[in-house]
Amino acid sequence: MKFILATFIIFAMPFFQAVTKKKVIFFGDSITQAGVQPNGYITKVGEMAAKDKKADQYEFVGAGIGGNKVYDLYLRVEDDVLSKNPDIVVIYIGVNDVWHKQSSGTGTDYDKFEKFYNALLKKFSDKNIKVVLATPAVVGERTDNTNQLDGDLNRYSNLIRSIAEKNRLPLVDLRKGFLEYGKQNNPENKEQGILTTDRVHLNEKGNEFVATEMWKAIQSVK
Amino acid sequence: MKFILATFIIFAMPFFQAVTKKKVIFFGDSITQAGVQPNGYITKVGEMAAKDKKADQYEFVGAGIGGNKVYDLYLRVEDDVLSKNPDIVVIYIGVNDVWHKQSSGTGTDYDKFEKFYNALLKKFSDKNIKVVLATPAVVGERTDNTNQLDGDLNRYSNLIRSIAEKNRLPLVDLRKGFLEYGKQNNPENKEQGILTTDRVHLNEKGNEFVATEMWKAIQSVK
Amino acid sequence: MKFILATFIIFAMPFFQAVTKKKVIFFGDSITQAGVQPNGYITKVGEMAAKDKKADQYEFVGAGIGGNKVYDLYLRVEDDVLSKNPDIVVIYIGVNDVWHKQSSGTGTDYDKFEKFYNALLKKFSDKNIKVVLATPAVVGERTDNTNQLDGDLNRYSNLIRSIAEKNRLPLVDLRKGFLEYGKQNNPENKEQGILTTDRVHLNEKGNEFVATEMWKAIQSVK
Amino acid sequence: MKFILATFIIFAMPFFQAVTKKKVIFFGDSITQAGVQPNGYITKVGEMAAKDKKADQYEFVGAGIGGNKVYDLYLRVEDDVLSKNPDIVVIYIGVNDVWHKQSSGTGTDYDKFEKFYNALLKKFSDKNIKVVLATPAVVGERTDNTNQLDGDLNRYSNLIRSIAEKNRLPLVDLRKGFLEYGKQNNPENKEQGILTTDRVHLNEKGNEFVATEMWKAIQSVK
C-alpha cells in the first residue's frame, strides 16, 4: 500500500507542478474589456496557448474598464490587480489619455502620463510582478499620418518605448505593428475597417493581431 | 525627592500637552503653493492663530503644487501628506480639474473627480486624520454667471458640498464666498482684480479672505 | 366701361395688397432645420398665424442647417437668404458656437462671433431687410447654473442682447425664457426633457414655446 | 523741340509700361503680419526681387492679421484684398484653424475649412486675380511626427494640395519643405529653433526659407 501511494505521488508530481499556472492579468481600457468576449484578444491568447500545448501553464484574466486612462489604472491597481496576485501584468493603456483631450477635454498631460505610468511600474516591481508593456495602437487607421491624434499617439508611444527600454521590459509595440500592417493592407488609406471597427476598437483581424503579439511577449517573460 | 518630581510632573502636564501642536497640512494646487509666501493665505492663517493666542496649538504646512488636479493629490498623498503625520488636512482642489478642460484638454471628468476625491478621503479616514474640504473659488470673477467655466465650477462645487455633507466634514465654501463678496464689491463686473490678480490666483484681499475662512474652519475641527 | 373697370380696381386693391405676403426666413442651425417638420416651431408659427387670421399676411421659410455657427450663416447668406428677397429674417444662432468648443474644439471665439454677427446685420440692413434676433436657449436644462456651457451661453447671449439694444432690433430672448420656464417647471433640476429632448433640440413643448415667442416678435416688426 | 519730345515719349513708353507693377498681396495670419517687418519674409521677397532686377515688376503688400483662420480671411477679403485690386494673392492660412482646436477650442472643422477656402478662391477667380496657395508649415518642428498637431496639419495640408491640383494653382508647400529641411538640419529633433522661434513663428532662417519658396512661386504665375 505504501509502495503504491509513493508511486502515485512520484508520477503525479509533474501534473501538480503544472497546476501552478502563471496568472496573467491584462490591465487596460475598453479594448481590454472587450478582450474577454468570445472573439476578444484575451480569449484568443488563451486559444493560442492551448494550441501550443501550454494551456496548463497560464491563466489569463481581463481587467479592462471602458474609458480608463493611466491614472484610472493607478486608482484601481490594488483592488483589481495586486489583490489577485498575478505573476504577469500586461499594461495596455494610452488611447483615452490622448483621445479624451479632443473628445471631452479630459485627456492626460504628457508629464502626468509618465508619472502615473512609472508609479504603476513601481507597484508591480515592489511585489516582484513581471510586467509587459504595450503602446496604444490607433485612433484612426490612415497610414499617412493624417489621423488627428497621430502626433500625440506617436509621442506617448515613444514614451512607453523608452520606459520599456530603460526598465528592460518586454514591449508589445502595437502602434508600430498596426502601422506596418496598414501599409501592407490598407491601400485605400481608410480610417477604419482594417484592424478596427470604429477607428479604435478591434475587429476580428485586430483581435487576432493583438493576441498574436501579446502571446509572443508573454512567453518571452522569464 | 519622589514627591517633588511627582508634583513637577503634575503641574507641568498642561504645559507639555499644549506643546503637542496640531499639524495642519494644506493640500492643493498653485493657489496653495503660493499660500506659504509672505502674504500667502497659509502665512496669514498662521498670523491669525498668533493674534488669537493659538500659535502654540497649531503648525501650518503647505503642500501645494502648481497644476495639480485631484488625481495628482492622490498620486502624492503618501509622500507629501501621510508620511508627515498630520492631524488635519485641508483639501483645496478643483480649479485645474475644470480649467484644464478648456486650456489644454486635460481636465478631469466629473465621475473621476468624485472617485479620486473619495479615495483621498478614505486614505485620511483610515489614519484618523481630520479633513476640511474647500470648493474651488473662481476662474474669472464676473458675478453674473458669464465666466466661461462657471457651469462646471458650480457643478464640481456642488459635488464637494454633497461629499462634505454626506461625510459630515467642515467645508470652506470659497466658491459661494467669492461670489457673495463679488456681488458686494465688484459693481463693474470685472473679470479679475477683486480677490484675484489674474482670474484665478489670490491677490492681497483674496489671501485675506481665504485665510479668514480657513482659520474659522480649522478651529471648528474637533 | 371705364367706370366699371375703375370700380373693380378700387374694390380689388385690398385683396391684391393682402396677397403681398411678408416673407419671413428663419436662419439658423439644426434647431431651425427641424423647425419645418410637422411639429417644428416654424410650422407652429404658421399655425398660430392661421389661428390669428393672419395666414395671408406671412410666408414662413426655414433656412436652418445642422451644425451651423455664425460664420456658416455668413458664408451662405447670399445664396440661402438674400437671393430669396425676404422681408424679415430671424437670426437664431449661437448654440454650436459655444457647444463645439467643448465637443470638437471648433467653437467660435467671442470676438469673432461679434464680428460675424454684425457683418450679417449689415448685409440685411443694406437691403432694408428687417431683422429679429434670438439668443441661444440651452445646452442642458438644469436651472442652477451647473450646465457645463452656462457661462459661455450667458456671455454670448448678453452680447446678442446688447447688439439688439444698440440696433433697436426685436429680440426673442430664448435663453432667459427657457430659464424662467425651467424654474417653474423643472423642480427636479433635470438636464433634459423639459423643453428639449436631448439638452439642445426642442421637444413638443419646446417647439410650442419657441413658436409663441417668435410669433410675438415677428408681429412686432413694423 | 516738339520733335524731340515726341521721340522721347515714343522711346520712353516701354519704360513706363514696365512701371505697371504686378501687385502681390500676401493674405494670412500672424506669420504674414510679421512678414512685413525688416527681416520678415515679405520684406525678403522684395529684396530677392531687387537682387533679380525685378523690383520694378512687383509690388508686395502684406495683409496678415494675428489669429486669423480661413473664415476670417473670408470676412475681410473685400476690404483688405479685393478693394486693392491685386494681380496676385498668396493665401497662406491654416495654422490657427488647426492649432486653436487645441489651445482654445475654436479651430475650424475640416469640411468648413474646405468650404471657406473654395469660397475665397471663387472671389478671386471672379475678378481674374491670380492665386498662389501655401500649406501651413508647422506647430512644432520635431521631424518624427510627434508634434501634437501633426496629424491635422498633414490632413489640412493634403486638402490644400488637392485644391491646388484641382484648380491648377501654384502651391508653396511649406509643410513639406519645413519637414525636409528639418530632417537635414534638426538632428536633435528639437521642437523649435530650427526655422521657428516658438514652434510656429519664423526665425531669420525661416523667413529666408519662406521668402525663397514664395518668390519662386510668384514668378511662376503667368
Query: pLDDT of C71-90, one tens digit each?
Result: 999 999 999 999 999 999 99
Spacing of C-alpha B33 from chain mean position = 11
For residue A116, pLDDT over 50 is answered with: yes
For residue A133, pLDDT beyond 50: yes
Residues C175, C178, C181, C182, CA torsion sign:
negative
Question: Across the C/D interface, how many CB contacts are shorter than 8 Å?
Answer: 50
Residue D215's pLDDT band (cuts 50, 70, 90): very high
Across the interface, do B102 and D102 touch by the CB < 8 Å criterion?
Answer: no
Interatomic CA distance for residues B138 and B94, integer angstroms: 10
Report chain C residues touching chain A, CB-CB < 8 A: 102-105
Across chain A, what does the average pLDDT equal?
Answer: 94
Q: How big is the CA angle at C116 (ends C115 and C117), to the nearest 5 degrees? A: 90
What is d(CA A24, CA A143) in angstroms, rounded to the nearest whole number? 32
- How many CA within 13 A on the CB side of residue B98? 27
B8 has a pLDDT exceeding 70: no
D52 close to D87: Cβ distance less than 8 angstroms: no
pLDDT at A222 over 50: yes
CB A57 within 8 A of CB A22: yes
Taking any CB pair shorter than 8 Å as contact, residues of chain D touching chain A are 101-102, 105, 140, 144-152, 154-155, 158
CB contact under 8 A, D105 and B102: yes
Q: Which amino acid is at C8?
A: F
Return the number of CB contacts < 8 Å for A and B: 50
- pLDDT-derived band at A19 (thresholds 50, 70, 90) equals low
Across the range C32-50, mean pLDDT stands at: 98
Distances (CA, A) of D118 to B204, C217, D88, D91, D156: 53, 37, 16, 11, 13
Which among C101, C153, C151 has a CA at the least distance from the CA of B152?
A: C151
**Confidence at residue D20, expressed as pLDDT on a 0 to 100 scale:** 84
More confident position, B115 or D17: B115
**CA separation (Å) from B157 to B67, B100, C139, C144, D13?**
18, 16, 20, 12, 79
Among A79, A81, A75, A100, residue whose Cα is nearest residue A32: A81
With CB atoms and an 8 Å threshold, state whether C105 touches D108.
Answer: no
- Rounded to the nearest integer, the mean pLDDT of chain C is 94
| C20 band by pLDDT with thresholds 50, 70 and 90 | confident
Chain C residues whose C-beta is within 8 A of a chain D C-beta are: 67, 71-72, 74-75, 100-102, 104-109, 112, 115-116, 119
Question: pLDDT for B28-71, tens place per residue?
Answer: 999 999 999 999 999 999 999 999 999 999 999 999 999 999 99
Q: Is the pLDDT of residue C203 over 90?
A: yes
Q: Which of A113, A150, A189 to mutate to test the interface with D (most CBs of D within 10 A)?
A: A150
Chain A partners within 8 Å of B73 (Cβ):
none
pLDDT at residue C5 in the model = 52
Considering chain B, what is the average pLDDT of its residues?
A: 94
User: Residue C3: its pLDDT value, please?
Assistant: 52
Q: What share of chain A is helix, strand, coil (3-state, %, to 5)?
A: 55, 15, 30
Average pLDDT over residues B120-125: 98
Nearest CA among A69, D114, D91, A175 for reference residue B105: A69
Q: For the residues D52-76, what does the mean pLDDT come to? A: 98
Nearest to B109 by CA among A31, A117, A108: A108
- Choose among D140, D151, D158: nearest Cβ to A147: D151
| A103, A154, A160: best to mutate for the D interface, most D CBs within 10 A | A154
Mutate to test the interface with A, among C98, C101, C103 (most CBs of A within 10 A): C103
Q: By CA distance, what is B148's nearest residue in D?
A: D104
C211, pLDDT greater than 90: yes
Average pLDDT over residues D147-169: 98
Give the residue-averaged pLDDT of B97-122: 97
Q: Do D106 and C104 touch (CB under 8 A)?
A: no
How far does the CA of residue B101 sit from the closest CA of chain D (Å)? 10
Residue of C nearest to A105 (CA): C102
| Range C65-84 burial, b when 16+ CB lie within 10 A, else e | bebbbbbbbbbbbeebbbee
Residues A75 and A65 sit within 8 Å (Cβ to Cβ): no
List, for residues D15-34, the tens digit of each pLDDT value.
555 558 999 999 999 999 99
Out of A75, A105, A115, name the one closest to residue B102 (CB): A105
Name chain C contacts of D139, Cβ cutoff 8 Å: none
**Mean pLDDT to the nearest integer, B81-105:** 97
Question: Does the pLDDT value for residue D1 go beyond 50?
Answer: no
What gap in Å lies between CA D50 and CA D28, rounded to an integer?
A: 24
| Torsion (CA) B176, B182, B185, B189 in degrees, nearest 10 | -170
Query: Which of A75, A102, A105 lies closest to B119 in CB terms?
Result: A75
Q: Are C62 and C35 in contact (CB under 8 A)?
A: yes
Cβ–Cβ of D105/C105 closer than 8 Å? yes
Going by DSSP bridges, is the β-strand pair A130-134/A171-172 parallel, antiparallel, or unpaired? parallel
User: Is 60 exceeded by the pLDDT of residue D5?
Assistant: no
The confidence score (pLDDT) of residue D222 equals: 81
Query: What's the confidence (pLDDT) of residue A4?
Result: 54
Which residues on chain A are in Cβ contact (under 8 Å) with D148? 151-152, 155
* pTM assigned to the model: 0.91
Question: What average pLDDT does this structure show over A141-156?
Answer: 98
Is C106 close to D102, i.e. CB distance below 8 A?
A: no
3-state helix, strand, coil in chain C (%, to 5): 55, 15, 30
Give Cα D94 distance to the centre of its chain.
11
Comparing CA positions, the residue from B159, B106, B93 lying closest to residue A104 is B106
3 state DSSP class of C158: helix
Mean residue pLDDT across chain D: 94
pLDDT of residue A54: 97
How far does A175 lie from chain D, in Å, by closest CA?
A: 13
Q: A93 CB contacts (<8 Å, ≥6 apart)?
A: A27, A28, A29, A68, A69, A70, A73, A117, A134, A136
B155: nearest CA partner in chain C: C146
Residues of B in contact with C145 (CB under 8 A): 145, 150-151, 154
Write down the ipTM of this complex.
Answer: 0.90
Question: Which of C67, C101, C116 lies nearest to residue D106, judging by beta carbons?
Answer: C101
Residue A16 has pLDDT above 90, yes or no: no
CA distance D216 to D132: 11
Task: Inform me whether the pLDDT recorded for C151 exceeds 60.
Answer: yes
pLDDT score recorded for residue C115: 98
In chain B, the residue whose alpha carbon lies closest to the alpha carbon of A74 is: B75
Write out the residues of chain A at the interface with chain C, using a CB-CB cutoff of 8 A: 102-105
Query: CA-to-CA distance for C185 and C179, rounded, in angstroms?
Result: 10
Q: Work out the burial of residue D62: count CB atoms within 10 Å of its CB; fewer than 13 is exposed, 13-18 middle, 19 or more buried.
A: buried
Chain A residue numbers touching D147 (CB-CB < 8 A) = 151, 155
* D107: nearest CB among C72, C74, C105: C105
In angstroms, the first-to-last Cα distance of chain D is 41
Q: What is the mean pLDDT of residues C157-176?
A: 98
Chain centroid to CA A29: 10
User: What cell numbers appear for B135 in the block?
Assistant: 470648493
Is the C-alpha dihedral spanning D212, D126, D59, D138 positive or negative? negative
Residue B6 has pLDDT above 70, yes or no: no
**Residue in A105, A147, A152 closest to D148 by CB:** A152
Q: Which of A100, A106, A141, A155 has the most D C-beta neighbours within 10 Å, making it the best mutation to test the interface with D?
A: A155
Across the B/C interface, how many CB contacts are shorter than 8 Å? 45
Q: State the DSSP H helix or E strand holding residue D171, giving kind and residue range, or none if neither.
A: strand D171-172
Which of B87, B32, B92 has its CA nearest to residue B57? B87
Amino acid, res. D137: A
All three cell numbers of A67, joined, read: 474609458
Q: What is the CA radius of gyration of chain C?
A: 19
- Give the neighbours of chain B: at least 3 Cβ pairs within 8 Å: A, C, D
CB atoms under 10 Å from CB of B187, counted, come to 9
* Share of residues in chain A with pLDDT > 90 (%): 91
Q: In terms of Cα–Cα distance, which of C103, C183, C190, C89 is closest to C131?
A: C89
Over residues A41-67, the mean pLDDT reads 98
Q: Give strand pairing partners of D132.
A: D90
Q: What are phi and psi of C183, to 5 degrees?
A: -65, -30
Report the distance separating Cα B85 and Cα B65, nearest Å: 19
A196, A206 Cβ separation under 8 angstroms: yes
H helix runs in chain D, sequence order: 2-19, 30-33, 41-51, 70-80, 95-103, 110-126, 150-166, 174-185, 204-220
pLDDT at B198 over 70: yes
Residues A69-98, mean pLDDT to the nearest whole number: 98
Q: Which of D101, D105, D154 sits opposite A144 (nearest CB)?
A: D154
Which chains sit next to D, with 3 or more Cβ pairs under 8 A? Answer: A, B, C
The closest alpha carbon to A91, from A110, A59, A113, A106, belongs to: A113
Check whether B11 has a pLDDT greater than 80. Answer: no
Minimal CA separation from D100 to chain C, in Å: 7
Stretch B150-176: mean pLDDT: 98
What was the pLDDT predicted at A5? 52
Q: List CB contacts (< 8 A) between D71 and chain C.
A: 71, 74-75, 112, 116
Query: pLDDT at position B1, please?
Result: 47
Segment A88-101 shows an average pLDDT of 98
Q: Please give the distance of CA B145 from its chain centroid, rounded to a whole number.
A: 24
User: Predicted confidence band at A3 (pLDDT cuts at 50, 70, 90)?
Assistant: low
Cα distance between residue C89 and residue C78, in whole Å = 13
> Is residue A66 over pLDDT 80?
yes
